[in-house]
Amino acid sequence: MSQGYQTIIGWIGYFIQRLMEAYPNSKDFTKEYSVLLVDEVDTYFHPEWQSRIMTVLLENFPKTQFIISTQSPLIVNGLNRNQIIILNKENETNSVATKNEVDIWAWRYDDILKRLFGTFLQTKYNLTELKEKLKKYENKEKLTQEEEKDVNKIKERIDKLKESELALDEEEIKNEKIKLVNKQKELDELIEALKAERK
């Protein structure tokens, strides 16, 4: 059992135990009012669980107020504007709490990083910069041995970047095809249901 799985089972199990103790006569203690504070909820979590944990908690404990801190964009992805508070460090001892003014449902991972966490994704190499550097070398009449080595490295990095982008495009196309197949399936099921109603 992974450490992340053990961690989540541990604190959710303890939370359930406390709910049962607080509401011993309840028919469904998961639907009772409560407040749960969790610091760094994403610690040891696999990215898949980071992206699902809030949905799971909110669906299974609908009347619980969750006060959770995180440094992971995957945790806050898909939350409503009133569910997110941004904490910015003012100085060594104080932080300032700011309300998030918009829903982030359509935001991508890098959007959340930039707008909520004040940072951004950095790729190892930039294709435009590599091409510009290569062009400078190509404009030279003669290259030194070191410059020729640098040119070969740049070309190799450009090839790898193009290969990486192609793989990303293929994955996106694959995902779009899966979405289309699922939509077609839903449409077929809807048509069959309508036909059945008319009989």
Q: Does residue 107 sit within a domain?
A: yes
Q: Does residue 40 sit within a domain?
A: yes
Boundary-marking domain end, from 63, 98, 117: 117
pTM for this model (two decimals): 0.59
pLDDT in tens, 3-22: 767 788 888 899 999 999 99
Integer Cα distance of 179 and 173 in angstroms: 10
Q: Does residue 122 sit within a domain?
A: no
**At 26, is the pLDDT very low, low, confident or very high (cuts 50, 70, 90)?**
very high
Angle, helices 127-138 vs 145-198, to 10°: value is 150
- Domain enclosing residue 76, as ranges: 3-117
Integer Cα distance of 55 and 50 in angstroms: 10
Beta bridge partners of 50: none
pLDDT: which is higher, 162 or 30: 30
pLDDT in tens, 43-89: 878 888 888 889 889 999 999 999 999 989 889 888 888 899 988 88
Q: Does residue 184 sit within a domain?
A: yes
Q: Does residue 105 sit within a domain?
A: yes
Helices (H), 97-144: 109-117, 127-138
> Same domain for 39 and 88?
yes
